[in-house]
Structure 1
Amino acid sequence: MTAPEEASGLVDVHAHFVTDSYVRQARAAGHELPDGMPAWPGWSAEAHLELMDRNGIVTSFLSVSSPGVHFGDDAAARRLAREVNEDAARVAAARPGRFGFFASLPLPDVDGALAEIAHAFDELGADGVVLETNTHGVYLGDGRLEAVFAELGRRRAVVFLHPTSPACWEQTALGRPRPMVEFIFDTARTVTDLLMAGTLDRHPGLEVIVPHCGGALPVLADRVNGFMKLFQPSADGGAPDAVEQLRRLHYDMAGPAFPRQIPALLSLVEPDRLLYGSDYCWTPAHGVDAHVAAVDAAPAPVADADWRSLTTANARRLLPRLARRPHRTPEE
C-alpha cells in the first residue's frame, strides 16, 4: 500500500512498541498482566505500517509504555533501557520518515539515566525521552531527579510523559484495569508534582508532552493554581502560576478525546499545543481506526484547518527532525 501524503498525514507522538525480549523480562519481573490489562499486545513494524497507511499516519514516534524498564534492579534496568532504545533506533533507521522514537531511561537510577540520555541522543539519534509518571513511587518532581531534568532542559529535549500504576494501586484500582482511571490521575499527580517542585520553571528548555488530553488536569488546573498561590507565595507577594505553566506544555489526543475531553482541554490551552496520538499497540488496531474516524469527523477549533493539518503542523514545530527525514513508502 502506498504511504499517505505528508501534507494530509498525521504525526503520531503516542505510539508504542514491544519486543519478545522486553515482554519476557517484564513477565519474569512479575508483570504477567501489565497494569491489570488482560494480556500483552503483539507488535511488528509491518503491522504498524499497515495501520498507519490505512489511517493516513505519516510518522509514528515509538516508545515503551508502562511498566517501563525498571523492575527493581538498577543494573538490569540500565541493560533493558539500552536494549529497547537500540531496538527502536534500528526500526527508525530501517524505515526513515515512518518511525522515530522516544528513549526509555532507567529511572529512578539517576546515574544510569544520565548515561542513557547521552547515548540515546548522541549515538542513537533519539527524538526525545519517555518518562513514566512514577517509578516505584518516585514521582517526577522528586528532588533526586533534578540532575536528569537539568540535562534534559540543557538539551531542550522533548519529554513525553506516560502514565503507569501508582504505588498504592492495590487499594485504589478496586480490581479494575489501571489504565481506565488510575493512569489519568497519575498523569495529573506527576504534572502537579513538577509544578509544585518548580521543575518546569527551573528548566524552561523542556518540551513536555502530556498524554491522554492532559488526563484530569483540565478540570483540576484552577484548583492546583489556587493551592500553589496559597502555599507557595514568594517574598514579593507573588506566586507561581500553574495555569500559565500548563499552557506551555503540549498535549496528545490519545484515548477517547471526543466528545468531552477535547473541549475541556481547549478551555485550558490553545489549539497550537495539541498533538495526535494513537496509543497503538496498547490500543488495538480497530480502536485506532475508530479514533482516527472520530478525529476526522470532529470540527477543528481553528478556521480553515482540520485536526490533521493542525496537529501535524504542531508536531513539525515541536519535532524539527521531521522536516529533515526523507519520506519513504513501505515498498522502498
Structure 2
Amino acid sequence: MRIDTHAHVYPSDYLDFLADSGVTTTGGQRGLGADDTDKELEARFSLMDRAGVDRQVISASPLTGALPDPHRAAAAARLINDRYVALVDRHPDRFLAFVVLPLPHVDAALAELDRVLDAPGVVGVALTTSAAGRALTDPAFAPVWQELDRRGTVMYLHPAGDGVASPQIIDHHLTWMVGAPVEDTVVAAQLITRGFVTRYPHVRILNSHFGGALPMLLERWDNLAHFEAPEAPLPPSQAARRMWYDTVAHSSQTAPGRGPGRWRGPTRPRQRLPVPGRRALPRHCRLHRTGRSRRRGHPGHPGRQRRSASGTGLIIGVR
C-alpha cells in the first residue's frame, strides 16, 4: 500500500473562518482543487489513482489556526478536525487524518487533543514548525509534549510560512521558495540540539521535505555541536535517525541516494512511515515520482498555476 503523508484539504468555510479571524494568507490555499466538495474530491481520487496512491493522510497545514484569541483558535481547530473526521468516515479507504491543535494555547491544545485524537482514522497531529512565532521547544509547551509522548503520537511538522521571522526572507518574497526549507531545517535542529527526540521518545516526529537542508548539514552539525550545543544528549547524526522524513522535495535529484547531494554513510537517516498500525519499514520504503509532478508541483502550496491537492511530487511507497 502506498500512503501519501503530505496532502492537504482546505474546506472553503474553514478558510473563511480564518479570514474572518484576521488570517491574511488564505488566498494561497484557494483555487487549488483542495476543497472537500464532491467534485474536487472526485478529481483528487482520480489523480491519486493515476499516481498509484492508495491513501492520503490529510492535514490543514500550514493553516492550523494559530490565532491570538484562544477561543477562536479552539473553534478553528474544532471546525477543521470535525470536518476531517467526517471525511475519513465518508472515505475510509482513501483518507486518514492528522488533526490540528490550537497552539500556542496550551490548555486549549490539551483539551482538543483529548477530544479528537482517538477518533477513527485520526493517526496523529499536524503542527507547524513554530506556533505563532514561538519555537516548539518553548518550555511552555512541555505539557503538550508530555501528553503526546504518553499517547505515542505521530507529530507531522510542516512549515508555518513565516520565513523564520526573517526580513531577509519575508521582505524579499522568499517565504516559500527559501523560507519553508529553512523552517524545516531549523525545527529539526532545535529538536535535535534541545534533546527532544530523547526526552520524548514516544513522539514519532515526521518532518516535511526531507527535513529541509538536514541531509547536507548533519556532518557539519556533528562537527560543531561540541561548542554550540554541548548539552545535546546525542550527536545530531544519531538523533536525526530517531525521526521520520517525508519525500516532498520538488526534485528527484534531492532524494537521498540520488544526485550530487545524496546522503552517504552513517549520516543518512532512514526513510520510514510512522503510521499507527503499520510497523516502520526502513528497508522497504521506496521513492516514487508521480508522472506530472515536475510541472504541477505538490498539493496545497501557493503558486500561480492551478494544481491538484492530490499526489505529492515525491511519495513514500510502503509494501
TM-score w.r.t. length of structure 1: 0.76
Instruction: Output the CA distance in 1 between the equivalents of 2:234 and 2:312.
Output: 40
Counterpart pick for 1:127 among 116, 120, 123: 123
Counterpart pick for 1:81 among 77, 80, 102: 77
Structure 1: unaligned runs, 5 residues or longer: 1-5, 296-307, 314-332
Contact 1:142 1:197 survives alignment (8 Å): no
Amino acid at match of 2:254: R
Size of the aligned set, in residue pairs, is 285
Partner of 2:54, secondary structure, is: strand
Partner of 1:46, secondary structure, is: helix
Contact 1:23 1:40 survives alignment (8 Å): no
Matches within 5 A, 1:1-332: 6=1, 10-34=2-26, 37=28, 41-43=32-34, 44=36, 45-123=41-119, 125-164=121-160, 165-166=162-163, 168-233=165-230, 239-263=233-257, 264=261, 266-267=263-264, 268-272=268-272, 279-282=298-301, 285=307, 291=313, 311-313=317-319
1:285 Cα offset (Å): 4.1
Cα deviations by residue, 1:119-173 (Å, 9 ceiling, x for unpaired): 1223455110001001221111111111111111111111100111145244423
Contact 1:59 1:99 survives alignment (8 Å): yes
**Residue 226 to residue 140, structure 1, CA distance change in 2 (3 Å):** farther
Structure 2: unaligned runs, 5 residues or longer: 273-281, 289-296
**Residue 258 to residue 223, structure 1, CA distance change in 2 (3 Å):** same
Instruction: Output the CA distance in 2 between the equivalents of 1:290 and 1:123.
Output: 26
Corresponding residue number in structure 1 for 2:292: none
Cα deviations by residue, 1:44-67 (Å, 9 ceiling, x for unpaired): 322221221221110000001113
1:265 Cα offset (Å): 6.0
Amino acid at match of 1:77: A
Partner of 1:127, secondary structure, is: strand
**Residue 139 to residue 61, structure 1, CA distance change in 2 (3 Å):** same
Tell me how large the CA RMSD over aligned residues is.
Answer: 2.8
Corresponding residue number in structure 2 for 1:320: none
Instruction: Output the CA distance in 2 between the equivalents of 1:190 and 1:290.
Output: 22
Instruction: Output the CA distance in 1 between the equivalents of 2:235 and 2:169.
Output: 30
1:219 Cα offset (Å): 1.5
Instruction: Output the CA distance in 1 between the equivalents of 2:310 and 2:263.
Output: 22
Contact 1:252 1:276 survives alignment (8 Å): no
Q: Whose helix fraction is larger, Structure 1's or Structure 2's? A: 1
**Residue 204 to residue 121, structure 1, CA distance change in 2 (3 Å):** same
Amino acid at match of 2:139: G
TM-score w.r.t. length of structure 2: 0.79
**Residue 116 to residue 220, structure 1, CA distance change in 2 (3 Å):** same
Corresponding residue number in structure 2 for 1:319: none
1:174 Cα offset (Å): 3.5
**Residue 245 to residue 233, structure 1, CA distance change in 2 (3 Å):** same
**Residue 75 to residue 287, structure 1, CA distance change in 2 (3 Å):** closer
